[in-house]
Amino acid sequence: MPRRIVIHAGFHKTGTSSVQSVLRANRKLLMPALAIRLKGQMTDLMHATRGYSTYGTPDALDKVQRRFDALLAGLPGMPRRTLLLSAEELSGHLPGRGPLADYSAAPVLMYLYWDRARAAFPQAEIVFCFGTRQPDHWIRSAWAEHVTASSLTLDFAAFAAQYPGASDLDGVIDDIAARVPARVERFALEDHADGPLGPADPVLDLCDMPTDLRARMEPQPPQNRRADDATLAALLQANRTHTDKAARKAAKHAILTSGQTT
Protein backbone atom coordinates (compact mmCIF):
# COMPACT_ATOMS: atom_id res chain seq x y z
CA MET A 1 0.00 0.00 0.00
CA PRO A 2 1.43 3.44 -0.86
CA ARG A 3 1.59 5.93 1.98
CA ARG A 4 0.54 8.73 -0.35
CA ILE A 5 -1.02 8.95 -3.82
CA VAL A 6 -0.26 12.06 -5.87
CA ILE A 7 -2.37 12.50 -9.00
CA HIS A 8 -0.90 15.11 -11.34
CA ALA A 9 -3.81 15.36 -13.77
CA GLY A 10 -2.91 18.28 -15.99
CA PHE A 11 -3.71 20.49 -17.42
CA HIS A 12 -2.55 20.36 -21.03
CA LYS A 13 -0.12 23.14 -21.99
CA THR A 14 0.94 23.81 -18.40
CA GLY A 15 4.32 22.07 -18.50
CA THR A 16 3.03 18.52 -18.15
CA SER A 17 5.34 17.12 -20.84
CA SER A 18 8.29 18.72 -19.09
CA VAL A 19 7.24 17.22 -15.75
CA GLN A 20 6.98 13.79 -17.31
CA SER A 21 10.36 14.18 -19.04
CA VAL A 22 12.02 14.83 -15.67
CA LEU A 23 10.25 11.87 -14.08
CA ARG A 24 11.13 9.57 -16.96
CA ALA A 25 14.80 10.56 -16.98
CA ASN A 26 15.10 10.09 -13.20
CA ARG A 27 12.84 7.07 -12.77
CA LYS A 28 15.58 4.67 -11.67
CA LEU A 29 16.99 7.15 -9.15
CA LEU A 30 13.53 7.83 -7.73
CA MET A 31 12.46 4.19 -7.48
CA PRO A 32 13.21 3.81 -3.74
CA ALA A 33 10.84 6.71 -2.95
CA LEU A 34 8.34 6.86 -5.80
CA ALA A 35 6.28 4.43 -7.85
CA ILE A 36 5.70 6.42 -11.05
CA ARG A 37 3.08 5.85 -13.71
CA LEU A 38 3.13 8.10 -16.78
CA LYS A 39 0.64 8.23 -19.64
CA GLY A 40 2.53 5.66 -21.70
CA GLN A 41 1.82 3.15 -18.94
CA MET A 42 -1.84 4.15 -18.71
CA THR A 43 -2.82 3.90 -22.39
CA ASP A 44 -6.10 2.06 -21.83
CA LEU A 45 -7.13 4.47 -19.11
CA MET A 46 -6.26 7.48 -21.32
CA HIS A 47 -8.50 6.14 -24.10
CA ALA A 48 -11.32 5.90 -21.58
CA THR A 49 -10.82 9.37 -20.08
CA ARG A 50 -10.74 10.96 -23.52
CA GLY A 51 -13.91 9.10 -24.38
CA TYR A 52 -15.68 10.29 -21.26
CA SER A 53 -14.68 13.92 -21.81
CA THR A 54 -16.03 13.66 -25.36
CA TYR A 55 -19.30 11.81 -24.77
CA GLY A 56 -20.05 12.20 -21.05
CA THR A 57 -22.15 9.04 -20.89
CA PRO A 58 -22.53 6.67 -17.91
CA ASP A 59 -21.07 3.86 -20.00
CA ALA A 60 -18.00 5.97 -20.80
CA LEU A 61 -17.53 6.80 -17.11
CA ASP A 62 -17.94 3.14 -16.19
CA LYS A 63 -15.13 2.29 -18.59
CA VAL A 64 -12.90 4.85 -16.84
CA GLN A 65 -13.70 3.24 -13.48
CA ARG A 66 -12.94 -0.27 -14.67
CA ARG A 67 -9.63 0.75 -16.19
CA PHE A 68 -8.57 2.84 -13.21
CA ASP A 69 -9.40 -0.06 -10.92
CA ALA A 70 -7.30 -2.34 -13.13
CA LEU A 71 -4.40 0.11 -12.97
CA LEU A 72 -4.48 0.15 -9.18
CA ALA A 73 -4.89 -3.62 -8.94
CA GLY A 74 -1.84 -4.15 -11.14
CA LEU A 75 0.52 -2.12 -8.99
CA PRO A 76 3.34 -3.88 -7.14
CA GLY A 77 3.73 -3.67 -3.41
CA MET A 78 5.08 -0.26 -2.47
CA PRO A 79 5.20 0.12 1.31
CA ARG A 80 6.50 3.51 2.43
CA ARG A 81 6.61 4.80 -1.15
CA THR A 82 4.50 7.47 -2.83
CA LEU A 83 2.48 6.54 -5.89
CA LEU A 84 2.71 9.32 -8.50
CA LEU A 85 0.38 9.32 -11.52
CA SER A 86 1.20 12.03 -14.07
CA ALA A 87 -0.80 12.48 -17.28
CA GLU A 88 -2.68 15.51 -18.56
CA GLU A 89 -5.27 13.23 -20.14
CA LEU A 90 -6.37 12.09 -16.71
CA SER A 91 -8.52 15.21 -17.12
CA GLY A 92 -9.73 14.19 -20.59
CA HIS A 93 -9.07 15.67 -24.01
CA LEU A 94 -7.55 19.09 -24.57
CA PRO A 95 -10.55 21.46 -25.07
CA GLY A 96 -11.04 22.82 -28.55
CA ARG A 97 -12.02 19.59 -30.28
CA GLY A 98 -15.36 20.30 -31.96
CA PRO A 99 -18.00 20.61 -29.22
CA LEU A 100 -15.53 19.92 -26.40
CA ALA A 101 -15.38 23.43 -24.98
CA ASP A 102 -13.76 23.06 -21.55
CA TYR A 103 -12.57 20.73 -18.80
CA SER A 104 -16.01 20.16 -17.31
CA ALA A 105 -15.34 16.40 -17.25
CA ALA A 106 -12.39 16.86 -14.89
CA PRO A 107 -14.29 17.27 -11.58
CA VAL A 108 -16.26 14.08 -12.27
CA LEU A 109 -13.09 12.18 -13.18
CA MET A 110 -11.19 13.42 -10.12
CA TYR A 111 -14.00 12.34 -7.80
CA LEU A 112 -13.92 8.89 -9.41
CA TYR A 113 -10.14 8.61 -8.92
CA TRP A 114 -10.46 9.68 -5.29
CA ASP A 115 -13.29 7.25 -4.61
CA ARG A 116 -11.58 4.27 -6.24
CA ALA A 117 -8.13 5.02 -4.79
CA ARG A 118 -9.64 5.37 -1.32
CA ALA A 119 -11.38 2.00 -1.75
CA ALA A 120 -8.16 0.31 -2.90
CA PHE A 121 -5.83 1.99 -0.39
CA PRO A 122 -7.92 3.28 2.53
CA GLN A 123 -4.93 4.38 4.63
CA ALA A 124 -3.16 6.37 1.90
CA GLU A 125 -3.37 10.15 1.68
CA ILE A 126 -4.64 11.26 -1.74
CA VAL A 127 -3.41 14.55 -3.22
CA PHE A 128 -4.38 16.12 -6.55
CA CYS A 129 -2.05 18.50 -8.37
CA PHE A 130 -2.71 20.76 -11.36
CA GLY A 131 -0.68 23.22 -13.37
CA THR A 132 -2.22 26.51 -14.44
CA ARG A 133 -1.18 29.24 -16.84
CA GLN A 134 -2.15 32.80 -17.67
CA PRO A 135 -5.40 32.47 -19.66
CA ASP A 136 -4.25 34.41 -22.72
CA HIS A 137 -1.04 32.36 -22.92
CA TRP A 138 -2.89 29.10 -22.38
CA ILE A 139 -5.51 29.64 -25.08
CA ARG A 140 -2.87 30.55 -27.65
CA SER A 141 -0.83 27.49 -26.75
CA ALA A 142 -3.93 25.27 -26.94
CA TRP A 143 -4.74 26.66 -30.39
CA ALA A 144 -1.16 26.05 -31.52
CA GLU A 145 -1.33 22.45 -30.27
CA HIS A 146 -4.49 21.79 -32.23
CA VAL A 147 -3.08 23.41 -35.37
CA THR A 148 0.01 21.23 -35.04
CA ALA A 149 -1.55 17.92 -34.03
CA SER A 150 -5.05 17.99 -35.56
CA SER A 151 -6.86 19.23 -38.65
CA LEU A 152 -8.02 22.50 -37.07
CA THR A 153 -8.74 25.21 -39.65
CA LEU A 154 -9.77 28.05 -37.32
CA ASP A 155 -7.37 30.95 -36.96
CA PHE A 156 -6.50 32.03 -33.45
CA ALA A 157 -9.12 34.77 -33.15
CA ALA A 158 -11.90 32.43 -34.26
CA PHE A 159 -10.67 29.66 -31.96
CA ALA A 160 -10.55 31.96 -28.93
CA ALA A 161 -14.04 33.25 -29.71
CA GLN A 162 -15.44 29.73 -30.08
CA TYR A 163 -13.95 28.46 -26.80
CA PRO A 164 -14.11 31.43 -24.43
CA GLY A 165 -14.28 29.38 -21.22
CA ALA A 166 -11.59 26.84 -22.03
CA SER A 167 -8.77 28.78 -20.38
CA ASP A 168 -10.46 29.12 -16.96
CA LEU A 169 -8.24 26.50 -15.39
CA ASP A 170 -8.50 27.95 -11.89
CA GLY A 171 -12.27 27.75 -12.12
CA VAL A 172 -12.05 24.05 -12.93
CA ILE A 173 -9.71 23.47 -9.99
CA ASP A 174 -12.11 25.34 -7.71
CA ASP A 175 -14.88 22.99 -8.87
CA ILE A 176 -12.67 19.97 -8.19
CA ALA A 177 -11.79 21.22 -4.71
CA ALA A 178 -15.48 21.75 -3.95
CA ARG A 179 -16.43 18.29 -5.16
CA VAL A 180 -13.56 16.04 -4.06
CA PRO A 181 -12.87 15.64 -0.31
CA ALA A 182 -9.11 15.49 -0.79
CA ARG A 183 -6.17 17.87 -0.84
CA VAL A 184 -6.10 19.79 -4.13
CA GLU A 185 -3.00 21.81 -5.04
CA ARG A 186 -2.22 24.06 -7.97
CA PHE A 187 0.83 25.83 -9.35
CA ALA A 188 1.33 28.41 -12.09
CA LEU A 189 3.71 27.46 -14.87
CA GLU A 190 5.03 31.02 -14.94
CA ASP A 191 6.23 30.67 -11.33
CA HIS A 192 8.26 27.51 -11.94
CA ALA A 193 9.44 27.50 -15.55
CA ASP A 194 12.93 28.63 -14.52
CA GLY A 195 13.30 26.50 -11.37
CA PRO A 196 15.93 23.76 -10.97
CA LEU A 197 13.58 21.08 -12.31
CA GLY A 198 11.06 23.41 -13.94
CA PRO A 199 7.38 22.55 -13.38
CA ALA A 200 8.40 19.19 -11.93
CA ASP A 201 9.47 20.98 -8.73
CA PRO A 202 5.97 21.69 -7.34
CA VAL A 203 4.83 18.17 -8.23
CA LEU A 204 7.81 16.61 -6.43
CA ASP A 205 7.20 18.92 -3.44
CA LEU A 206 4.05 16.87 -2.81
CA CYS A 207 5.76 13.49 -2.95
CA ASP A 208 7.43 13.48 0.49
CA MET A 209 10.76 12.27 -0.84
CA PRO A 210 14.23 12.47 0.74
CA THR A 211 16.03 15.75 0.12
CA ASP A 212 19.29 14.04 -0.81
CA LEU A 213 17.50 12.07 -3.52
CA ARG A 214 15.89 15.22 -4.85
CA ALA A 215 19.25 16.97 -4.99
CA ARG A 216 20.67 14.25 -7.25
CA MET A 217 17.97 14.54 -9.90
CA GLU A 218 18.99 15.53 -13.42
CA PRO A 219 17.08 18.44 -14.99
CA GLN A 220 15.71 18.12 -18.52
CA PRO A 221 15.13 20.71 -21.26
CA PRO A 222 11.58 22.07 -21.68
CA GLN A 223 9.36 19.86 -23.81
CA ASN A 224 6.65 20.43 -26.43
CA ARG A 225 7.20 24.13 -26.88
CA ARG A 226 4.95 26.05 -29.24
CA ALA A 227 6.15 26.51 -32.82
CA ASP A 228 6.93 30.00 -34.06
CA ASP A 229 4.25 32.08 -35.76
CA ALA A 230 5.51 31.45 -39.29
CA THR A 231 5.48 27.69 -38.77
CA LEU A 232 2.02 27.80 -37.24
CA ALA A 233 0.74 29.83 -40.20
CA ALA A 234 2.13 27.21 -42.58
CA LEU A 235 0.60 24.37 -40.58
CA LEU A 236 -2.78 26.10 -40.52
CA GLN A 237 -2.61 26.56 -44.28
CA ALA A 238 -1.82 22.86 -44.68
CA ASN A 239 -4.89 22.00 -42.59
CA ARG A 240 -7.01 24.22 -44.82
CA THR A 241 -5.51 22.95 -48.07
CA HIS A 242 -5.28 19.18 -47.67
CA THR A 243 -8.55 17.35 -47.07
CA ASP A 244 -6.86 13.98 -47.48
CA LYS A 245 -5.45 12.88 -44.11
CA ALA A 246 -2.31 11.28 -45.50
CA ALA A 247 -1.51 14.28 -47.69
CA ARG A 248 -2.09 16.65 -44.81
CA LYS A 249 0.14 14.61 -42.52
CA ALA A 250 2.93 14.55 -45.09
CA ALA A 251 2.70 18.28 -45.71
CA LYS A 252 2.81 19.09 -42.01
CA HIS A 253 5.71 16.71 -41.45
CA ALA A 254 7.61 18.56 -44.17
CA ILE A 255 6.87 21.89 -42.53
CA LEU A 256 8.00 20.73 -39.12
CA THR A 257 11.16 19.01 -40.32
CA SER A 258 12.43 21.18 -43.15
CA GLY A 259 10.42 24.37 -43.18
CA GLN A 260 8.37 23.57 -46.28
CA THR A 261 5.10 25.45 -46.51
CA THR A 262 3.18 23.35 -49.00
What pLDDT does 10 receive? Answer: 96
Q: Residues 60-97: pLDDT tens digits?
A: 999 999 999 999 999 988 878 999 999 999 999 999 99
Query: How confident is residue 262, by pLDDT bands cut at 50, 70 and 90?
Result: very low
Instruction: Please say if the pLDDT value at position 212 is more than 70.
Output: yes
Burial 112-151 (b: 16+ CB within 10 A, else e): bbbbbbeebbeebebbbbbbbbebeebbbbbbbbbbbeee
Instruction: Please say if the pLDDT value at position 215 is more than 60.
Output: yes
Give me the long-range contacts of 40-45 (CB less than 8 A, separation at least 24). Answer: 42/71, 42/85, 42/87, 42/90, 44/70, 45/71, 45/90
Q: What is the dihedral of CA 252, 255, 258, 262, to 10 degrees?
A: 100
Instruction: Please say if the pLDDT value at position 261 is more than 70.
Output: no
Residues 130, 169: Cα–Cα separation, whole Å: 9
pTM beyond 0.75: the answer is yes
Residue type, 106: A
Instruction: Please say if the pLDDT value at position 116 is more than 50.
Output: yes
**Domains annotated on the chain, with CATH:** 4-225 (3.40.50), 227-262 (no CATH)
What pLDDT does 259 receive? Answer: 53
Q: Residue 129: phi, psi to the nearest 5?
A: -135, 135
66 CA to centre of own chain: 20
Q: Residues 153-169: pLDDT tens digits?
A: 999 999 999 999 999 99
Query: How confident is residue 260, by pLDDT bands cut at 50, 70 and 90?
Result: very low
